[in-house]
Amino acid sequence: MIEAARIHGNQKEKRRGGGNCHWRRQSTKTIMKDYTSIDLFSSPSPSHLAVRFLPIANISRIMKKALPANAKMAKDAKEIVQEAISEFISFITSDDKCQKEKRKTISDDDLLWAMGTLGFEDYIEPLIIAIRASQ
């Protein structure tokens, strides 16, 4: 809950205070209420929508790296890739290996195994290299 508020920067806004921040305190209450709700992802608030996708700016940056310098990207292309990423994460995470083994914790090991099973075996080696490089 606290982490969620920090992500949205509302904790910092609350500390700043000031009469003109009243609307910000109100939105903090709304967001905090959403995060205390058990069924978070069926809430219609903007904060609920935001957690379904990764930030489009970050995705756009990665896409740009993969394209030539003179390439352009339409907004609808970025948006569909944004949605595709969330589908990818769900697709890999939902692999029922943990279920079969009656475990409730997903490890990085499980993710790599799932990727190999679901056709993304080409990712495994560069992933291991990249993760070891970041250690």
Report the site for other proteins in 22-51 (rule: CB under 8 A): 41, 46, 49-51
Q: Is 59 in the site for other proteins (CB under 8 A)?
A: yes
Nearer to other proteins, 37 or 94 (CB): 94
Contact flag: residue 52 with other proteins (CB under 8 A): yes
- Rounded alpha-carbon distances, angstroms, from residue 100 to 2, 11, 91, 95, 117: 33, 41, 16, 10, 15
Interface region with other proteins, contact rule CB under 8 A, candidates 11-19, 24-32, 66-74:
66-74
Helix/strand/coil for 115: helix
> Using CA atoms, how far apart are residues 77 and 74, in angstroms rounded to an integer?
5
Q: Which of 1, 3, 16, 20 touches other proteins by CB under 8 A? A: 3
Supply the minimum distance, in Å, between the C-beta of residue 52 and other proteins. 7
Identify whether the C-beta of residue 31 lies closer than 8 Å to the C-beta of residue 8.
Answer: yes
